[in-house]
Structure 1
């Protein structure tokens, strides 16, 4: 299985766009893919794929209820499908995740002698109990940019990070502290090693300023993906507006001219998906 979390502490660097299109890229390569949207804000994978009908439904079963041992149905019933990929959508309850996990732990501590409820490990436990690791080839989690229980649960469930990097002052600041963040996550989570699959240069325009910050990324001694995603506002913007991946957009005849122009972008996502899969095939990446 290939599990990873797409995350950067800098907002607006293309985290969700990267996750959504990698889901399709892996699926196009014959893999069964599950995405998990852990971001309580609008604009995550759920919105990207147009699967947010139940996001504000207070009566709907949702991922958070499963994480606090209060499910209203089978976990598999949460999963929605589109474009040949599956997704556990976001729900407004995610906005209260930290508080709900704290309450659930307090209740567990009061009623159980084992005291086995660990807040940072609940997502992984839910996935294991539902048999998800054996059902899917790829699991991609999209948490919010901020640190907290969303990120901790995502990282504990996957043990691996893929980091979008925008070659700009904002992106440089996010990468400069990345080693400390990874070390902090390992300390917080206790018993896992967090693997960094690679930093992915995104929104690259080929300017001298871009190159300055790409050089700064190399100096951080982080693994860098052999693929950089150019600034492709037209295709990515149209895909977002239509709530589809760029692959789905490219298959629409109304976008034939755009598809021909953007073919290299599709190829780069294919190459990036292959790069990620190869790491799991040839190295001891924690799964």
Structure 2
């Protein structure tokens, strides 16, 4: 990786204990000496959907858990900076826990403050992030038609019980529900056409879902605006989707949901989404593991 700036870049996968599963992210625990161009160069060279950069320490907020360690964090895809990334947050929290031990963290992101708790369960580290305040909004009929055209999805293949909607929990995602698992599996979209629509609507990914049971979903996330065809496990979209389900009354106010993502890409991962009564924020948790660098294999 001779083209990268001279800094230590770690590789972690999030939402899987297998390095071949989940969503890989680059992690730089000390990016204080990197400017925007250097961080973008690292992300582009790695080629992962996002990489995370800790740019400094910060005082924890008054709402933080006792003893929480505060950091400023930024996220870059191979093409541009993004306001928030769930899987790279989990990856960074796990990297910090391996270095300093489990505990409470607080990340200052462009989208707001994101607390993360890291615990050790059955010998594995597990990180749980708490989203910023979520919300959802309608999508215009013409924009929905354009999204379906870019995906080559007939409107009749949508699940009428889960209406299309834009959901936010740190980044914006268009939720589209497939009526069948087969429809979700058949993902072959017009990259440039979908990218143009997503830029116009300020979308980070599309959250494509299929409901397997009351609390279990299979999901896929096209990410052309980030320069990759598909994101293997998307924590920000999982948080937004949890908020979408609760707002529409499709799950109880307090619920635990399981999202399976990456299976169709050969990188299976599992995201746990927790909703708490009386708390609008959404919690997303999962395991992760270090990916050996090429010269370590």
TM-score (norm 1): 0.27
Q: In proportion to residue count, which structure has more strand?
A: 2
TM-score (norm 2): 0.27
* Higher relative contact order (CA closer than 8 Å, sequence separation 6+): 1
Q: In proportion to residue count, which structure has more helix?
A: 1
